[in-house]
Amino acid sequence: MAANLYRFKYDEYGNTREIIVYASGASARSCSYINKGTAFTPEERKLLNLEATLPPGVRNLEGQVQSSRIKVEDKADDIEKFIFIRAMFDRNVTLAHALIKSDIENYIKIIYTPTIGMAVQKYSSMFRQANGLHFYPGNIDRAEDILRRFVHRDIRVAVVTDNQGVLGIGDQGAGGIAVCLGKLMLYTQGAGIAPWHCLPISLDVGTDNEKLLSDIQYLGWRHRRLQGEEYLSFIGRFVRAFRNVFPNALCQWEDFSQHNAFSIRDAFVDELISFNDDIQGTGAVALAAILSAMKVKKEKLTEQRFLINGAGAGGVGIGEQIRNALISEGLSEKQALECIFMIDSQGLVTNHRDMALYKRKFAKDKKKYPWISTINKIDLPEIIRQAGITVLVGTTGQDFFFRTEAVAALKHNTTRPLILPLFHHISTPEIFCQNIRKWNEEGVMVATSNPCAAMDALEDSFFISQCNNALVFPGVGLGVLASGAREVLPEFFTAAAYAISEMMNPDDLGKGRLVPPVNMIRQVGKTVALAVAMVAVKRGVSRPCVYSDFQHDNDETRMKKLIDRIRWKPEYLPLVAM
């Protein structure tokens, strides 16, 4: 999309007020930010030389949305619906977002999980139009020049992946950028960050997926993944280029392998305004559900004992957020960590064996817990009994974890257990859903992860919440941008979790709802943004107020006003022909 076709005109808060259009005729309609399709008014058609190129009737945005919904429902399956909505986005970005907003609870399953998993795997075969940027060893040295092409769009959020740890299905090569596209659509829906301020980026360092390497249609860099110093050098070159071009933009790391996820998050925390959603977003939404469960139980967080199955990015991220919350509730770090037990592929994490640094803090000492030496390392019911576990979290779907014996052991420790099956259950077995239903009826509180057909039915019947990261990262991003935060602090995610939990009223909690439904993504985004912005102000990492019309307001009122004014809505903007 050529920069000389248009220019955005902003108000003093950075919100787009109108689009200055230098193109006319077919070239004007070819730009997805300018194009209104049948909604171009008669005056706009004259100004942009579109007369006679459209039928004479004018269909407004509302009418376009109604027509589009019918077309979506006519599609044969979810992947065809995905293709239709993505094609609409490439043609008319405002209409695409207005359509999604009209039924976010339904369309989020199309533009993001679970359908996005299929879109990732079919990326090369169904490729239609380029979106975002693909850096690979052949162009990474020119990254800064390439990024500067997008300065006219005032990029504020980038979602960046190396495509290795995609949605529980692993190394997907160039197709991983589809996840970035989906996440950025949720930034727009939940936070109101205009789509032209968003940039998806693939760091294509190769793939070890044999199926992709042998596929003649594969569009990625057809080499084995870079490793070691070569890999780190590639990432470093990207970071320097991005920092130089967009020093105030937020960079969200997405779908890195667990080892790289932690090392990159920590290595560049002082160079970029950045965070990792798989670690920190997952941790925050899980903590929000746990905090809500404490209100139902009428117990303190510090009275609980937690067992997390899965020591990857999500599991450790949840552990970190629970630790941070326990510290905020008055425990020392050592005391907080003693409340959290973790299981990895080798069983209970203990300090008698070698392990990655990122999970070492959760390792338990056999001298302090002598029962560890007397039980099978994957004897889950016995671990639950011995450790006094009251909250069971699973980020991986091993068969042995969420079983009747484990839940029975939980019930010996607490009358209201909490279980969080947070793995990607695209193909959830029916028996699992039947068990969830049974346990829920018996008083077990439940929140699951991304949806599938069986889980949808379960949620509708039993008010089982969905712990979706979309409740966290849009609001965190908006809070960072509104406050002008110079870094993303761990406290932002703790504040987000508490803010989400505070949104749950007694009626919702009484029905088993632990976090808001995804159709409240816009309200949640605003609430989270304010909480994050206020932490940034209190910690002194935000910019000073420069807006004269509310300089005399207190910090919270100022932030509320600013958040309201910078959020874009999917409505057609005025076009000014030049």
Which mean pLDDT values do the consecutive 10-residue runs of the chain (578 residues) have?
80 92 91 96 95 94 97 94 95 98 94 89 89 96 96 95 85 94 97 97 96 95 96 97 97 93 93 96 97 96 96 94 97 97 91 88 93 85 95 80 88 94 63 75 84 54 80 98 96 98 94 92 98 96 74 82 94 94
Residues linked to residue 348 through DSSP beta bridges, in sequence order: 343
Crossing angle, helix 78-91 and helix 104-111, to 10 degrees?
90
The helix (run of H) or strand (run of E) holding residue 16 is strand 16-21
Give the pLDDT confidence score for residue 1 in this predicted structure.
46
Q: Give Cα 88 to chain centroid, integer Å.
A: 22
* pTM score, whole prediction: 0.94
Task: Yes or no: say if 475 and 288 are a contact pair by the CB < 8 Å rule.
Answer: no
pLDDT of residue 258: 86
Domains 60-256 and 280-470 share a fold: yes
For strands 340-344 and 347-348, give the pairing.
antiparallel
Assign residue 228 a region (left: φ > 0; alpha: ψ between -120 and 50; beta: otherwise): left
Q: Minimal CA–CA distance to 79: which of 127, 118, 124?
A: 118
Give the residue ranges of DSSP H helices in 204-253.
210-213, 228-245
Q: Which of 109, 183, 526, 560 is catalytic?
A: 183
**Class level of CATH domain 60-256:** alpha beta
Output the 3-class SS for 430-445. HHHHHHHHHHHHCCCE
Strand order, beta sheet including 465-466: 347-348, 340-344, 306-309, 391-394, 418-421, 445-448, 465-466
Q: List CB contacts of 252: < 8 A, sequence separation 6 or more.
A: 157, 158, 159, 160, 183, 274, 275, 276, 277, 473, 477
Domain boundaries, the chain: 60-256, 280-470
What letter does residue 572 receive in the DSSP assignment?
A: P
* pLDDT score at 3: 62
Rounded Cα–Cα distance for residues 392 and 190 (Å): 29
- Residues 439 and 447: their CA atoms lie apart, in Å, by 12
Instruction: Please say if 498 is a catalytic residue.
Output: no
The closest alpha carbon to 104, from 496, 468, 429, belongs to 468
DSSP secondary structure code for residue 393 in this structure:
E
Complete DSSP assignment for 539-553: TT-SPPP--GGGTTS
Q: How far is CA 207 from CA 198, 224, 312, in A?
A: 26, 5, 20
What DSSP string describes 91-159?
H-HHHHHHHHHHTHHHHHHHHSTTHHHHHHHTTTTT--S--SEEE-TTTGGGHHHHHHTTGGGT--EEE
Peptide bond preceding 114: is omega within 30 degrees of 0, i.e. cis?
yes
DSSP single-letter state for residue 486: S
Determine which one of 6, 33, 107, 112 is catalytic: 112
Rounded CA-CA distance 280/237 in Å is: 24
Alpha carbons 50 and 45: distance in angstroms, whole number: 4
How far apart are the C-alpha atoms of 422 and 407, rounded to whole Å?
Answer: 16
CA distance 121 to 513: 33
| Burial tier of 354 (Cβ tally within 10 Å: 0-12, 13-18, 19+) | exposed
**Single-letter code of the amino acid located at 358:** Y
- Architecture in CATH of 280-470: 3-Layer(aba) Sandwich (3.40)
13 given a catalytic annotation:
no
Write down the pLDDT at residue 455.
55
